[in-house]
Amino acid sequence: MIGPRHRSTLAGDDPAPGVLPNLFTHNVATLGSALVLNQSYEPLCVIPVRRAAVLLLTRKAETVTPGDGFLRSETMHIPVPSVVRLNRYVAIPRQVGASPSRRGVFTRDDWRCVYCGSSAETIDHVMPRSRGGTHTWDNVVAACAPCNHRKSDKTLAELGWRLPRAPRPPSGWQLRGFRGQRRPDPAWEAWLPRHGRERARLS
């Protein structure tokens, strides 16, 4: 996640006493989340809509894509933010752990089976561990249970399957952004790098 020296940019303090609480005339828990873009338009993280509104009110960010509805107070109303862009660039470490996590693999592969495109339920080692495969980002993919069972301890060459792309470590924004949720909001698609869209060719 974002380190301590970056927290001032995404601070969640109210812009002024009484302003923000009065702005929300309904339960903020129903407002969902907003995607935060760096000044360079690179996906940075996902935060609650309330926090995104604070960034807008303190002029630390601008709205790129509005969501549904408005946040209102007696003196102002603003569209519910869906995508916001920071007004200054924030440098973020790009280190990704060497050992893949289950959620990290699902997030990278868009929660889809790389073999057939259906919903992923398991992870699979492309080169089976029983045959020397490693538990690393370049050898672990998301898979549905039927494909995982069918593949078993076979190699792709033995099955005549081919991956649509070589597995690799996920982008930092994927691990930062979707740690607490399953799938990205469709309204964010234009701002997210394409990932997990293709399907493998099965025999």
pLDDT for 175: 65
Global pTM exceeds 0.75? no
pLDDT for 29: 44
Helix (H, G, I), strand (E, B) or coil at 5: helix
pLDDT for 197: 43
Task: Judge whether 48 and 36 are in contact, CB under 8 Å.
Answer: no
Other residues' Cβ atoms within 10 Å of the Cβ of residue 167: 19
- Residue 54's Cβ-count burial label (10 Å; 0-12, 13-18, 19+) is buried
pLDDT for 97: 67
pLDDT for 3: 43
Output b/e per residue, 80-113; b: 16+ Cβ within 10 A: bbbbbbbeeebebeeebeeebeeebbbbbbbbbb
Phi, psi of 199 (to 5 degrees): -120, 150
pLDDT for 127: 97
pLDDT for 15: 53
CA distance 86 to 47: 13
CA distance 104 to 152: 22
Bridge partners of 123, per DSSP, are: 142
> Domains in the chain and their CATH numbers?
33-92 (no CATH), 102-159 (1.10.30.50)
pLDDT for 130: 95
Residues of the chain with pLDDT under 70: 1-31, 93-97, 172-183, 193-203
